[in-house]
Amino acid sequence: MNGTRSDEAWWKNAVVYQIYPRSFADANGDGVGDIPGMLAHLDHVRDLGADTVWVSPIFRSPMADAGYDISDHCDVDPLFGTLDDAQRLIDEAHARGLRVLLDFVPNHTSDRHPWFLDARSSRASPRRDWYIWRDEPNDWRAALGAGSAWTWDEQTGQYYLHFFLPQQPDLNWRNPEVVEAMHGVLRFWLDRGVDGFRIDVAHCIGKDPTFSDHPRCLAGEPLVDFNDQPYSHEVLRGIRRLVDSYPGQRVLVGEVNIRSTASIVQYYGAGDELHMSFNFPPLDAPWDPVVFRTCIREVDALLRPADAWPTWVLSNHDNVRHRTRYDGSLRRARAAAILLLSLRGTPFLFQGEELGLEDARIDPRRQVDPGGRDGCRAPLPWKEAPPHGWTGATPWLPFPPDPARQAAERQWADQGSILHLYRQALALRRASPALRLGDWEELESPPEVLAFRRRRSDDVRLVCVNFAAQPRRFAPPGNWRIALCSDGQAPGTAFGGELAGDHAVMLEPGD
């Protein structure tokens, strides 16, 4: 299954599909998604044409942060199933040719994790130093609206550090016992056959050892947005050595949640840290040619010389879905699918974007997430008829708008749906070395049109995206025919240079 030459690395050829367990599919009727639900719908992912799933946390958790607060890394939360279910998921995915990445959350545990319960039991606890304690807080601010990053522990009379909620105390990775314990977690899952990990807030692991105040925190920004310490790199190198010691190519994808492409390059190290890092500027980007052009040029200019393989993400479980960001426009979501799946780098799809889902509108009384991220976490509508494949209890969040029309069942039956557009784009990508691995070169085009060439040996594709709402003309030199377009023209017809508004075409050489 695994290639050997570095340009054949499976993860460079991969298309990753993010499963958010609570909202993907519910098999036991309690209104929350679970692993048996994932098993029942793995064929959807395979038929779509993605080849890797990244599963957000399924581990034991009090769910203060929807599973990103882990109380046992080596067991599955009963909400989602059992350890046997997790093994079945790994095995059944593999049987379908899908690889599996799990979420690894190194920065913090739950405050109910036995390690933290032990650490906070007394200053003399052998695990006291597994977390970060101070007599006086500094001005560091936590994310998720949690205010100060320090919480007072009454019993032992010190503050502990948490970059997120007080229920998520930060681990002290400078303690070798923590390193060993967390390496044990990685081994536990690697031994069960996972193909790698998505590393949660990888840039947060190392802390400023001087604990200096920071003006950006004083100005109200959480430290998570810019923490960038050398020690994180040392930790990542240790994790990389560990995964490299396993057979096959196990992969590390880091969430480096700094909105700076220049900074994320560092997290690839000298090929000895992350295999891939997320690069989030496109995740915030509006439907705007200047913003996209800048993001894409930056990636090419900064990552390619460093031999750092890019990733592309338009939506995930922490941010407003891109269709919603593009004013709810399905035309734009369709054009964006062609753009996303023809860039140089590994694309990450967030469950439901292939259905063109928008964020759900959440009544404040049904709000669950303290960070206000419920909208993008709404359940996936599988069936056209209510309750859309979610039998039993009311789902934990309301459905996104128009669930009957957006339902997977209905879109599989409609060749013109956005689901089939994704499927076709993925099939073309799989068949074309240029689209998967080729060079990226921008073409001179009108300002509202982004046009680029992908080339690998004699395999060539052109992609033109018109960000304007009105038609634009752009006829690239040479003879081109349409391989896929976001709306309208049939594949196989000659491309005459007409681009409808909010429209994208993928072109292949004509006769």
Binding site for ligand GLC (CB under 6 A): 65, 68, 105, 164, 200-201, 255, 257, 317-318
Which of 255, 353, 374, 508 is the catalytic position?
255
Task: Give me the least distance between CB of 318 and ligand GLC, in Å please.
Answer: 5
Least separation in angstroms between residue 65's CB and ligand GLC is: 5
3-state DSSP assignment of residue 104: strand
Question: Measured from the CB atom, is 254 or 403 closer to ligand GLC?
Answer: 254
Euclidean distance between CA atoms 226 and 221, whole angstroms: 9
Q: How far is CA 95 from CA 15, 29, 41, in A?
A: 17, 26, 14
Q: Which of 305, 301, 296 is nearest to 347 (CA)?
A: 296
Cβ atoms < 10 Å from Cβ of 247? 7
Work out the number of other CB atoms within 10 angstroms of the CB of residue 193: 16
To ligand GLC, the closest distance from the beta carbon of 27 in angstroms equals 23
Nearest distance in Å: CB 79, ligand GLC: 16
Pairing of strands 251-254, 196-199: parallel
> What's the Rg (C-alpha) of the chain?
23
Least distance to ligand GLC from the beta carbon of 367, Å? 15
Residue type, 294: T
CB of 308 to ligand GLC, least distance (A): 21
Tokens of 265: 């390059």
Strands 472-473 and 251-254: unpaired
Residue type, 481: R
CA dist., res. 363 & res. 349, Å (int): 27
Q: Is 255 a catalytic residue?
A: yes
Our CB check for ligand GLC shows the closer of 23 and 257 to be: 257
Instruction: Assess contact for 127 and 136: CB atoms under 8 A.
Output: no
Tokens of 242: 């560990």
Instruction: Please state, in angstroms and rounded to a whole number, the distance separating the CA atoms of residues 484 and 508.
Output: 9
| Pairing mode of beta strands 99-104, 196-199 | parallel
Among residues 34, 200, 228, 359, the one annotated as catalytic is 200
Cβ closest to ligand GLC, residue 263 vs residue 294: 263
Nearer to ligand GLC, 200 or 508 (CB): 200
Distance CA 341, CA 15 (A): 9
For strands 498-499 and 449-456, give the pairing: unpaired
CB closest to ligand GLC, residue no: 68
Least distance CB 303 / ligand GLC (angstroms):
21
CB atoms within 10 A of CB 1: 9
Give whichever of 63 and 179 is closer to ligand GLC, judged by the CB atom.
Answer: 63
Residue 26 or 255 with smaller CB distance to ligand GLC: 255
For ligand GLC, the closer of residues 63 and 251 by Cβ is 63
Active site residue 213: no
d(CA 429, CA 415): 18
Which positions are annotated as active-site residues?
Answer: 200, 255
